[in-house]
């Protein structure tokens, strides 16, 4: 039995979960609504304040999906109640970040600024304080979408191992290299 999949998802007050006959699970909460297609083999039961997932057999495919869908639904429940936040830091001389609505304007040491349109489901904000690196904050209810957008922003200029310059997650620990040793 999957150790993750057999645990029920606790549904807090103010959150409603419905499963359609086509196996589309909908989670509604104070912050919004999320939907997820569930594989037809996985059986979803919503009963008195919790959601239980069952699988028909012990095939590898069924075991893999059992824990997967339980985790996805748990993330959806947390998203519509608390929401998710991701913070990125721009480390480097002259690196800047500014936003106008959902348009993010990044200056990352290239010959031109990079302008990215953030999906409307997410809220983006930037801060630039004197003596500190510019920061980009992403907020939303969809954990998967926030992670995908944050990874895309990080890929624009990954942190390099010698000076640590680039776009990194807040709190990310980088492995640093020594560089060239001094001559004679």
Q: Write the pLDDT tens digit of every residue in 128-170.
A: 999 999 999 999 999 999 999 999 999 999 999 999 999 999 9
Domain membership flag for residue 184: no
Are 150 and 161 in the same domain?
yes
CATH number (domain holding residue 45): 3.90.930.12
User: Cβ atoms within 10 A of the Cβ of 79, count?
Assistant: 22
Domain membership flag for residue 154: yes
Among residues 101, 80, 65, which one has the least CA distance to residue 34? Answer: 80
Spatial distance between the Cα atoms of 23 and 44, rounded to a whole number of angstroms: 8
Element spanning 126, H or E: strand 123-127
Across 2-11, 47-56, 79-88, 151-160, least confident range: 2-11
The number of C-alpha atoms within 13 Å of 119 and in the hemisphere containing its C-beta is 16
- What value does the mean pLDDT take over residues 5-20? 91
Are 92 and 59 in the same domain?
no
- What pLDDT score does 3 carry? 82
* Domain that includes residue 76, residue range: 9-81
Domain membership flag for residue 1: no
- What pLDDT score does 1 carry? 47
């Amino acid at each position: 039995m999957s150790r993750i999949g057999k645990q029920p998802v606790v549904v807090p007050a103010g959150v409603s979960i419905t499963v359609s006959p086509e196996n589309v699970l909908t989670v509604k909460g104070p912050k919004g609504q999320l939907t997820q297609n569930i594989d037809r083999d996985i059986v979803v039961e919503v009963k008195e304040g919790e959601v239980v997932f069952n699988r028909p057999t012990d095939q590898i495919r069924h075991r893999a999906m059992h824990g997967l869908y339980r985790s996805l639904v748990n993330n959806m429940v947390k998203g519509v109640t608390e929401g998710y936040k991701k913070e990125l830091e721009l480390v480097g001389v002259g690196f800047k970040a500014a936003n106008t609505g959902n348009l993010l304007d990044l200056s990352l040491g290239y010959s031109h600024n990079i302008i990215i349109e953030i999906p409307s489901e997410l809220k983006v904000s930037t801060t630039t304080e004197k003596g500190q690196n510019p920061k980009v904050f992403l907020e939303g209810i969809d954990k998967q979408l926030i992670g995908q957008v944050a990874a895309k922003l990080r890929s624009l200029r990954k942190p390099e191992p010698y000076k640590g310059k680039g776009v990194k997650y807040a709190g990310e620990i980088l492995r640093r290299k020594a560089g060239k040793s001094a001559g004679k």
